[in-house]
């Protein structure tokens, strides 16, 4: 019995020694190579980053030796650590939904689904979990950088206006136009009769489209243009990027409009403006002025009683009682009751769906029926409609974003240099 107990004790001690040896080996294998303020960088992180970099650069030319890469990558890890610590102090969090969307974007750029992307990186010997962690860190860093640069980069209104007045500013803030195109070619050395024949055929196509024919289908069937099989789709372009023969015509076109025939040395062209985006389109905001009465159920008013009260008040307005008076006396919406139920001018998408749908379907000064949303029972009245032109404000926003982007990289380098100089960094490599 005693011999068995001693044997068991010796076995336990041996296992403990093996365990301690394994832990000691691990510590030696993965050592601290840098202390960065309140964080540390491990040698395994450096090794993994170099490995990842070499995988990314396969087929793009030889990288320098590890002796050259190690100090460069280590400095990058130091700078990343400083920014991640700053993100943690600021409470920056990247949700799983944001991370998944970013991963889907990366996979799409590589023309893969998420499962295909995961299989591809794991075939390269890279952990998918590590890829997710690294992308989460990059998103946190990007959010910190964006916030810091927003405060550091100042763009004056005069700078914006000067840019808008420049030739570059005109190009940058010009609307993007999405065109489709049909070309009916002319034979070499075409006679006058042949020119007239092709012109007539092109005009017949214009008439066919204006009568309901599908432009893209006709492009596939009839066009000799390079994009014919794609329905003549020329993609998104700015006016300055269009062929000269189209640019003057395109300036005055509306979405859905077809122009032509336009003659050139190669034949007769038809163009259709499929859609537009930019200041001219997005700067025109439809707005409605609306007022409402809200009656809510409560501890002293059941849902049926709330509905009956709303319908009773609605009937009083129909009978001639002043809408504003009723809203001030009875509406349970504290934000609008004092102003007679007036919600002011609003663009689409401001309110809950049923309120929005009722508002959009109402004519000016028409009193809606009583309807129920999650807030209670309403009736409303649209008192005005207008289209507000925010195109100049939209262009100024485009210009400011462009100028900020131009200065972002330079200012970012200055800031990184500052935080690197101010940090406590001890390298052990």
DSSP 147-183: HHHHHH----HHHHHHHHHSHHHHHHTSPEEEEEEEE
Q: Quick one: pLDDT band at residue 60, thresholds 50, 70, 90? A: low
| pLDDT category of residue 11 using cuts at 50, 70 and 90 | very low
Cβ within 8 Å of residue 102, ≥6 positions away: 135, 139
Q: What is the pLDDT of residues 33-48, one digit of tens each?
A: 999 999 999 999 898 8
pLDDT at 280: 67
Q: Is 230 helix (H, G, I), strand (E, B) or coil?
A: helix
Let me know if the fold of 176-277 is the same as that of 284-389: yes
Domain boundaries, the chain: 176-277, 284-389
Task: Name the pairing type of β-strands 342-347 and 284-295.
Answer: antiparallel
- pLDDT for the residue numbered 389: 66
Query: Mean of the per-residue pLDDT values for the chain?
Result: 86
Provide, rounded to the nearest whole percent, the portion of the chain with pLDDT above 70: 91
- Are 175 and 280 spatial neighbours (Cβ–Cβ below 8 Å)? yes
Mean pLDDT lowest for which of 57-71, 80-94, 254-268?
Answer: 57-71
Q: What is the pLDDT of residues 189-206, one digit of tens each?
A: 889 999 999 999 999 999
Q: In terms of pTM, does the model score above 0.85? A: no
pLDDT above 60 (res 22): no
Helix, strand, coil: what percent of the chain each, to 5? Answer: 55, 20, 25
Q: From CA 98, how far away is CA 103, in angstroms rounded?
A: 9
Distance of CA 113 to the CA centre of its chain: 20
- Give the span between the Cα atoms of 375 and 73, in whole angstroms: 56
Tell me what the mean pLDDT of segment 247-267 comes to. 88
**CATH class of residue range 176-277:** alpha beta
What CATH topology corresponds to 284-389? Chitinase A; domain 3 (3.10.50)
* 388-398 mean pLDDT: 80
pLDDT at 14 over 70: no
What is the C-alpha separation between 386 and 308, in angstroms, rounded?
34
């Amino acid at each position: 019995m005693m011999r068995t107990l001693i044997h068991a004790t010796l076995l336990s001690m041996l296992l403990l020694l093996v365990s301690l040896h394994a832990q000691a080996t691990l510590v030696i294998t993965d050592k601290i190579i840098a202390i960065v303020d309140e964080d540390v960088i491990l040698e395994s992180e450096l090794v993994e980053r170099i490995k990842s970099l070499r995988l990314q650069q396969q087929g793009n030319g030889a990288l320098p030796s590890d002796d050259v890469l190690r100090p460069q990558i280590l400095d990058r890890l130091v700078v990343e650590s400083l920014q991640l610590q700053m993100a943690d102090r600021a409470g920056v969090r990247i949700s799983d939904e944001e991370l998944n969307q970013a991963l889907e974007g990366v996979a799409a750029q590589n023309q893969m689904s998420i499962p295909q992307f995961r299989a591809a990186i794991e075939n390269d010997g890279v952990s998918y979990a590590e890829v997710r962690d690294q992308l989460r860190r990059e998103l946190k860093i990007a959010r910190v950088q964006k916030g810091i640069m927003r405060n550091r980069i100042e763009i004056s209104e005069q700078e914006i206006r000067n840019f808008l007045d420049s030739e570059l500013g005109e190009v940058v803030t010009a609307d993007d136009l999405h065109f489709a195109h049909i070309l009916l070619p002319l034979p070499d050395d075409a006679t006058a009769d042949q020119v007239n024949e092709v012109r007539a055929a092109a005009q017949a196509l214009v008439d066919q489209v204006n009568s309901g024919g599908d432009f893209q289908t006709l492009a596939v069937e009839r066009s000799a243009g390079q994009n014919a099989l794609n329905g003549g789709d020329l993609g998104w372009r700015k006016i300055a990027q269009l062929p000269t023969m189209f640019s003057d015509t395109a300036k005055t076109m509306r979405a859905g409009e077809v122009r032509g025939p336009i003659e050139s040395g190669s034949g007769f062209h038809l163009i259709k403006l499929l859609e537009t985006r930019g200041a001219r389109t997005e700067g025109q905001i439809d707005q409605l002025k609306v007022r409402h009465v809200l009656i809510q159920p409560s501890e002293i008013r059941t849902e049926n009683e709330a509905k009956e009260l709303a319908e009773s008040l609605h009937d009083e307005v129909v009978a001639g009682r002043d809408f504003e008076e009723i809203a001030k006396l009875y509406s349970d919406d504290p934000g609008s009751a004092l102003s007679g139920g007036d919600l002011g001018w609003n663009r689409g998408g401001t309110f809950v769906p049923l309120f929005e749908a009722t508002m959009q379907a109402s004519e000016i000064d028409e009193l809606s029926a009583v309807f129920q949303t999650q807030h209670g029972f309403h009736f409303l009245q649209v008192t005005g409609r207008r289209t507000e032109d925010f195109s100049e404000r939209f262009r100024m926003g485009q210009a400011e974003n462009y100028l900020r982007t131009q200065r972002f990289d330079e200012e970012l380098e200055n800031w990184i240099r500052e935080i690197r100089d101010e940090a406590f960094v001890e390298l052990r490599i």
